[in-house]
Structure 1
Amino acid sequence: MNMQLYEGGLAVVLALGAMTHPARAETFRCQLADRVVSYQQTPCAVPDFPAPPSRAEPAPRPAPSPAGPPAATRNADEPFALLTRRQREVLDLTARLERCRADVPGFAEKSNELARAWRARHAATLSGHSRFLGMKVRAFPRGDAASCSDDWLRELEPLARLPDPRYGSAEKTWELFVRGLQAADRAAVMACVTGPIARAMRERLERLGDADLRRMAANIRALKVQWGDDYTREGLVLHGDRVDAIAFTNVNEEWKIRELLPRGNLPVTPRRSSPDS
């Protein structure tokens, strides 16, 4: 009896507790504009989306990429652009020599010795660029006898010799030139010059005596090379009260004097008297 009363009372208490403490309502997490989050008791509102189009529109085509620069046309002389100036000169002269030996009667016989020396002197360039040389020989005009003269062979002969290390720089050549004047050694002086100055220097050496040449050497004070590259050097020569312009040129890897021209007289600096005078 007591147990039944206890169970009945417990049920009444539980019922009253449920009436006084109703169940907690569900909370909704809603994403609003500008990334704002809202927690609310009511369901999140459904955003209004535009109605789908009745016909699917094609996606826009991507813009074409800008065309790159046109490919450079291949020049027939393009391989020669990779060579040094010295290598191009050797190949050009060799092509001319080979064309003359093949086309001009009698030229091969009188140039045999020079041709052997030429190939030995420039063996590295000729063996390393034989394909380019063949192209040059085929492109050289045939039967051009005017370019295959004896004078041209004489001009080519110094280029077939091994370079003399005594003329390895402009300064070394100038020292040899001055020593030649001091010793009145005309052959040594002429070995230091080339081009426009050679003829004038030869005439001057024939006209002047040994004592005159030694006075010229004693009057020279200094050489100053001011500018240059692998083929040309320019500078000034100071001797006495005058300054001369000088130019050197590289011939077969030997530096030779090409020009020696008067530039002007030095200003005379007045001597200042001492306070005691």
Structure 2
Amino acid sequence: MITEILVLTYRNLIASIDKVFLIWQIIFPIFYIFISGYAYSALLGNQGIRLGEILVSYPSFLAVGMIGFNVMNSSTVAGSIIWTDKRNGMFQQILVMPFTKEQYIFSNLVTIMLMGLTSALLILIIGLPTILGSAQPTLWSIPYTLYAIIIGSIFFGSFTVIISTRLKSSEGFNVISNGIFLFFAFASTTFYPAEGIPEPLKTAFYMNPLTYIVDITRAGVYAQVSDFVNLEVIIITILALVAFSIAAVSMLRIKV
């Protein structure tokens, strides 16, 4: 079981992922952190953004937020892999070989987790000049960031699998997934804090799974774990399990 999943994961990383997409996954956060981050911080002056008991600069706030954003962005790979395989007849060939649909699903999720963890590490390295001085990770808080990346990969990966199995064309998949992810990105705490946001926008923030992923990631990086963050962990875990269950059923019902 594990060997087959690893083989399919290797195949996804080598053959199925667009290299231009991987480059864009790095360039896009750099643009936001060092251009938008410092441009918008000029509007705030020297005023920091409160996170728990500390104040952080806006570029630092944004740099960590881009980790969760990239986890969501990477998840489109799960849907695109399915579409590419179905269009090229590779999906049928894989199932003829000693692989099952369950192994295929898990390999896609492992692929997204690896991409999420790698992109998170790159963003931390790239954004180190902005994060340095504010970040205070501890042995207790670091697992929160790692968990946010993993559970975020599971949720959004499952989400894109559900979309890809329900739509009839890759064009429809791209339009709908990009449109929904645009809402997820800007109606979340990725780019700005929820405090002070007027209703009903604030309610929309906390109906958005990306908000929980970004908040948990920041709590880990800045060591600001609170009871509310623990509640967010529970909520996003439940959402991820539900999404994965629906995605698994959707994949199992695909007719070869």
Shared fold per TM-score greater than 0.5:
no
TM-score (structure 2 length as normaliser): 0.23
Name the structure, 1 or 2, with higher relative contact order (CA <8 Å, separation 6+): 2
Q: Which has the higher strand share?
A: 1
Bigger Cα Rg: 1
TM-score (structure 1 length as normaliser): 0.22
Q: Which has the higher helix share?
A: 2
